[in-house]
Structure formats: structure tokens, C-alpha cells
Amino acid sequence: MSWKMIYKDNVWQKEGNLLEVIKKEGLGGIILGAKIDGKLSDLNIVPKDGSIVELLDWSTPEGRDIYRHTSAHILAHAVKELFPEVKLGIGPAIEDGFYYDFYRNEPFTQEDLLRIENKMREIISQNLSIERFELPREEALELLKELKEEFKIELLDEIPEGEKISFYRQGNFIDLCRGPHLPFTGMVRAFKLINVSGAYWRGNEKNPMFQRIYGTSFLTQEELDKYLEEREEAQRRDHRKLGKELGIFDTFEEAGPGLIFYPPKGAMLRLLIEDFERREHLKRGYLPVITPHLMQAELWKRSGHWDNYRENMFFLEVEDKAYAVKPMNCPGHILIYKSTIRSYRDLPLRFFEMGTVYRYERSGVLYGLERARGFTQDDAHIFCTQEQLEEEIKNVLDFVFYMLRSFGLKDYIITLSTKPEKYIGSDEIWEKATLALRNALESVGVEYQIAEGEGAFYGPKIDVGLKGLLGKVWQGPTIQVDFNLPERFDLTYDAPDGTKKRPVMIHRAILGSYERFIGILIEHYGGRFPLWIAPIQVRILPIADRHVEYAYYVLRSLEEKDIRGEIDLDQAKLNYKIRKAISEKIPYIFIVGDKEKEEGKVSVRTHTRDLGMFNLEDVIGKLMKEIRDKKLFDGGFEDD
């Protein structure tokens, strides 16, 4: 009896207990789990004769999940030791960590978390064997009744007939679980409990509220420390917190959840982004259009949104007719296309709109600017011939990469999403659309990955995910090919041979929604935006009242060159006003006193250093160049 063991491109012929073989090969403590013929497995097992065994270490996502799932069980073990009355929920591995849900009347405190951590260390130090065992359904039920774990009994009831019912034991702790797990508790080397939050059992608000303890674990303390540092930085940059502190956006309970308000600074930031992008659209041959926020439901039935997207839409009735608040801009652009006869000479026809849309997102998934119920897209629809399709997609990709470079966003993931389970149109049309996207990506020489079944219901798409802190990926630009809506709305153009032909439609957003993009910028720059998009570019600080008149002269000089400035007239001491300007992320601080006033100069500093005294005219010229060049440099003027 033998099987093939694969690890790091090496293949060995082995036999016996997998865990014992790993120890003999000197891989004990390195290998965390296995895949046997493609199925995840514990290590304490003898594979069947002829099996293909892939060994999983920390470098594999599955290996990390096994490690962190075991960490969650150690957490549950510790909680049951300290608080025997607690009832167990579920405890999966998640990205960058794990959690376990507990039902308990009293809330867990920060002191409780410290006690739990200490107990976890004790369990790890004991290096307990983690053993899997299986029971018939009736015996499994009796065991859970004996353990008084009623929520686990509920999970047991949902296990399909015929499926194995497995438990894991470590010391005196037993848990219903599919696994797999590490073979010993001592293999978990570095962990940290992060926080506690509320979570409804099974995600249903009608069910009891559990307490969810989050944690993370790594192979080494060094990796854990690095992660915790990055996490602290991510919390400092969290757009929900920082955006409100800096006056970029707000939400108001009385207005409703998921609805975004922009105070003056946020409105200025958004207008700057919109104006820049609007000019770039016009340069590239796009034509502006504006469509209503409200359209009759019949239109959405024809488009397919009624059947495929209705649960995410808002409806109302007007004069006995059903209307929908638009969740997308495409049907409106289609009506404009259809309003007149189109010729092949008109194509490609590119309509763009800064279109505000509304989608019914459930309260539980709303998340600041990242996921809201009302948002504005830099939306466009391109109507073209099949022969023009690939070139248009390449042009859109060029536009996307130009815009991302302009905002200093260089770290992203490109995904090609294919036909989902629920779709409209023929398989042949989907194949054509997917091939066009693939060819365009390959022609511009960018790396991409395939997301099987993740396309929109009306067509395949290219998505650009923008990487943030802690590996977070924000949804960004998107390009979608659609042969279906032109068919549904009977869109045509007059071909050179005198026949009517069907155009292809490209849905695309360059930045995505402005709300989400502003959230990305807040976190990417920590609120300290490049000068060209900073809502306030210069804060002027008069040292004393006698310098206020000159401060206004400086302000007028800035405004004449379209540089956004303001004066701090607070009577506080200068050092306080400097700290305040730095905390508000103002790019440049101008200080004016007797010498500056007398010589027509300003003393300039940033959040990091004092740059010295400059002639007002010279420093304005430097700022204008930095704005014109859209410099991303932060911390002072570059050397001329």
C-alpha cells in the first residue's frame, strides 16, 4: 500500500500514517494539513492506496485556514474552561484571523479577553493531541445533549443524511466540527484576541444575539507583531473615522442609513475629482448625458432588472403606475441611443454621466463610503460594432490606468469574471463577449485572474480591485460587455450594406462610485491628500492681530491663482495653530509675522518640517507647478 506525497514540487512514494511520515521527513511542525485526492484532511490519517497527497504549509491559504481554525477551537476551549455556562456557536477561520461565537448573558470585558488569552497559552503549552472521531447521528445527538450545547444540536439537524458526523477532542474539550485541524494544540505559536462584537445566531436578526470574539494567529511572533502594527495603522486610516473627523463626509440617522452627506471640504474634494474626470472624458470623445432618477417599472422589466435585481431596488407608485428609483444608468442611456436613427458612421458612440443611483443594501452590510444605498458613478455606455469592440475595451483600459496613476494608485488586481449561474442571453453571445475581454487584456500585457461564474447577469466583465491596508481589496473600475440589452431593446444601426445591425454595448466605470473612491483615497493617503485634490491647500497663520491684514493679502494672491486657502483667526498661540493645521492634514502652512509682512514673504512648513521663508510670488509659482503636475510628493517642495 503506497501513495504519492507532493510538497513544493517534489513527489515521493510513501506509505503508512501521514503524520509519522511527515516527522520522518523532517517536516514536523511545518506541515499544517493535507489535501488527499483534492479533499482537505487532517494529518493523523493513513491515505488510501494510490492517493495523491498534497502537503499544506503556511504558504498555502488552506494551511493558514487550518492553523486559524484550530486557533478558534483553542479559544472555545479556553472560554468553556473559564465560563462553563457559555453555549458554543461556530468558529471559522476568516481572512487574517478567526472568530468564535458564544451565547452568554453577561458581556465579555477587556479583562475577560486577557484571562482567555492566558488560558489559551496554557492549553497551547500542554501540547494536547487534537483527535477526530465520528458518531452515528443518534449517538452524536446524545453527546450534544450531554454537553448541553443546544445550538450545536441545531447545526446537527442540518447535516444531510448520509454525511459523516465528526467531532474533535482536545483534552476535556469536545466540539462538533467538520475540520480539519492541526494534530496538536502546541503548533499554534503566536496569537492575539482582537475584540468582541455582537452577531445574531446564523446571521438572522430574529435569532438570539451572540458575542463574537475575534482573534488572529501567525506562525511567528514577528509576523503577528507586524500584522498588529499594520492593523493599528489601518484603524488610524479607517475612512469611516477619518472621513468624519476631517469633514469629508457624514451620515445622519434622521435621514436614513447608507445615505451620504458631503460638508464643504468633502464636496470640494468630490468636485475636484469630478471636474478632472469630466475633462478627461471629453478629451476621449465621450458625450455627456443626464437621465432621470425615476423611471417606470416597465422599463426595468424590459431590461431584466425586474427579474434579476428587484430585491435591490426601491419602488413607488405614481398615478397608478409603478416606478423605480434607478439602481443603474444603463436603461436611460439606451433610451437616448434609441431616440434617433443611428448609422455605422456614428459608432462608436460613447455616452457618459455622473449618475446618482440608489440600491437597497441591507442594513447589516452598509459600511461607510464603501457600501451605501445612494452613490454616484462615473458611468458610461459605449455603443459600437463587433469589429470595434476590442479596440474600445483597450481604450477603456488605457483610461483606467491613466486615472489610477494620476491618483497615485498603483497596487491592484485585475479579474475577468465569467458567466454566472443566473444569466440572460445565449451561451454563444457570452463566449463572444468573454473572448473580447480576454483578448483586450492580453493585448495590453497585464496580468489577470479568472473568476468563474462571477460575471453580471447580462454579461462578463473586467474588474480592477484596488489594494488597501491589510490586504483589503476595494471594488474599483469595471468594464462589462453586453450583447443582451441591445437585443432586449431592439437597438440597431444602419450598416454600410444598407441592413440593420445590432450594436454591442460596453458598460464601464473608470473610478467606480465616487463615494467608494473617496473612501479609497482617504485610507490610501491617511487623509493627507496630494496638493492638487486637497480641499484646503494652504492654511495661513497670522502671528498677531497686526498681521491679519497681510494674511488677507496673501489669501487674495493665492485665490487669484485658483489656490484654495484659508486664514486661521483663532487667538490661540502659534504652536497650537500649527498643530491644529497638521492634525487637519493641510498640505502647506504659511506663517506671517513682522518680517514676512515687511519683506513680502511667507514662512512655509508642512506636517513634517519647516521649509523656510520664501517670496510670496515664488512660493505661489512652486504651488502652481505642483498642482499642474499633479505631484504626489508629500513633505515639501521638490528640488527645482
Note the maximum CA span of the chain: 94
DSSP classification of residue 348 = S
| Cα gap 59→77, rounded to integer Å | 27
What are the DSSP calls for 188-212, one per residue? --EEEEEEEEEEEGGG-TTSPEEEE
User: Which one is catalytic: 77, 112, 192, 377?
Assistant: 377
User: Which one is catalytic: 330, 342, 371, 601?
Assistant: 330
User: Which one is catalytic: 35, 381, 547, 577?
Assistant: 381
User: Which one is catalytic: 507, 508, 528, 577?
Assistant: 507
| Cα gap 381→485, rounded to integer Å | 12
Residue from 277, 328, 266 nearest 299 by CA:
328
Polymer length in residues for the chain: 640
Enumerate long-range contacts of 265-272, CB under 8 Å, 24 or more apart: 265/535, 265/536, 266/518, 266/535, 268/535, 268/564, 269/518, 269/521, 269/529, 269/533, 269/534, 269/535, 270/514, 270/518, 272/532, 272/533, 272/535
Alpha helices in 83-204 (DSSP H): 110-125, 137-147, 150-157
| Cα gap 89→317, rounded to integer Å | 44
Residue from 40, 1, 37, 38 nearest 21 by CA:
1
The question of whether 359 is a catalytic residue gets the answer: yes
Cis amide linkage into residue 61, ω under 30° from 0:
no
| Cα gap 454→452, rounded to integer Å | 6
The question of whether 379 is a catalytic residue gets the answer: yes
| Cα gap 213→556, rounded to integer Å | 55
**Is the dihedral angle over the CA atoms 437, 440, 443, 447 positive or is it negative?**
negative
**Is the dihedral angle over the CA atoms 24, 25, 26, 27 positive or is it negative?**
negative
The question of whether 281 is a catalytic residue gets the answer: no
> Burial, 608: exposed, middle or buried (Cβ in 10 Å; 0-12, 13-18, 19+)?
exposed
Partners of 173 in the β-ladder: 170
Partners of 375 in the β-ladder: 357
| Cα gap 212→116, rounded to integer Å | 14
What are the grid coordinates assigned to 195, written together?
Answer: 475584540
| Cα gap 529→272, rounded to integer Å | 12
User: Which one is catalytic: 132, 359, 508, 597?
Assistant: 359
End-to-end CA distance of the chain: 75
User: Which one is catalytic: 461, 508, 516, 524?
Assistant: 461
Cis amide linkage into residue 180, ω under 30° from 0:
yes
Residue 407: partners with Cβ closer than 8 Å, 6 or more residues away: 521, 530, 533
Partners of 601 in the β-ladder: 615
Residue from 309, 330, 334 nearest 422 by CA:
309
The question of whether 381 is a catalytic residue gets the answer: yes
What are the grid coordinates assigned to 102, written together?
Answer: 458564544
The question of whether 461 is a catalytic residue gets the answer: yes
3-state DSSP helix/strand/coil % of the chain, to nearest 5: 40, 30, 35
User: Which one is catalytic: 42, 101, 379, 482?
Assistant: 379
| Cα gap 414→395, rounded to integer Å | 16
Q: What angle do CA 604, 609, 612 make, to 5 degrees?
A: 35
User: Which residue numbers are catalytic?
Assistant: 330, 359, 377, 379, 381, 461, 507
